[in-house]
Chain A
């Protein structure tokens, strides 16, 4: 893989997994999004699977949400929370809603609205990942590492360590330290260094 930090772009020549296919199919529907959390580590080789992928979207009006819902359905996905658009929209304003391929709940996409400052940061500073036949947009690696350190479970610390070990020569270290301090996750950083 090649990480061009100036272009904020990573070229990745990986063999596409079933999980990657699912993510690419879903993301191809969207214009504005950013992938966050565990899938970012898995995309770059972390040796684990997952049942869900976290995706952040900017706030949408009901009309925009309805149009997107119809496109998602047409692409062969269904919502696991409800089959009613209005109800899904109300839920989405409060919490993530999940989409999966029709009749197959795993894997699924946790579709979340950008709300918190770290969500905004991830969206504004996203990185493009160029795969063989598709592009994906992911959260900046410094934020991923800091966020996972903040979550703090064994799985999360391992996700953070994988990204840190893989990219440590390319990371913006002052930015990483700043984010880790914001999350007050310095102790967990010591565990993975």
Chain B
């Protein structure tokens, strides 16, 4: 397991958060930060690992 110093976290640019004109814009910044975090997870983990998690979302849409 990675220690706290090397473990990646979701990071938002606080200047952009403070400058956001409304909650919608803050929500967009939060979502974009998660997209970056998840893309980095995909990049640094085995395909079988991330796809197993992703398939929970995908397969739940199509299973009966």
Chain A residues with CB under 8 Å of chain B are: 1, 12-15, 17-19, 22, 42, 44-49, 51, 106-107, 154, 157-158, 161-162, 165-166, 191-192
Return chain A residues, CB-CB under 8 Å to B51.
14-15, 17, 45
Return chain A residues, CB-CB under 8 Å to B55.
15, 17-18
CB-defined interface of B26-57 with A at 8 Å, one 1/0 digit per residue? 00100110011011101100111011111101
Contact between B57 and A166, CB atoms less than 8 A apart: no
Interface Cβ pair total, 8 Å cutoff? 78
Tell me which of B32, B48, B62 contacts A161 (CB under 8 A): B32
Contact between A19 and B62, CB atoms less than 8 A apart: yes
**Given that A45-B42, A154-B28, A166-B43 are known contacts, is A161 also in contact with B58, CB under 8 Å in the complex?**
no
A63–B31 alpha-carbon span in the complex (Å)? 47
**Given that A15-B48, A162-B38, A166-B43 are known contacts, is A47 also in contact with B57, CB under 8 Å in the complex?**
yes
Tally of B interface residues using CB under 8 Å: 26
B6 within 8 Å of A (CB atoms) = no
A161–B42 alpha-carbon span in the complex (Å)? 13
24 contacts between A and B (CB under 8 A): A1-B47, A12-B47, A15-B55, A17-B59, A18-B58, A18-B59, A18-B63, A19-B58, A19-B61, A19-B62, A22-B62, A42-B54, A42-B58, A45-B38, A45-B54, A47-B54, A48-B57, A49-B60, A49-B62, A51-B61, A158-B35, A161-B36, A166-B43, A191-B32
Interface of B is mostly: helix
Return chain B residues, CB-CB under 8 Å to A1.
47
Within 8 A of A (CB), among B11-39: 28, 31-32, 35-36, 38-39
* Max chain A C-beta neighbours (<10 A), residue from B47, B53, B55, B57: B47
* Max chain B C-beta neighbours (<10 A), residue from A22, A42, A154, A158: A158
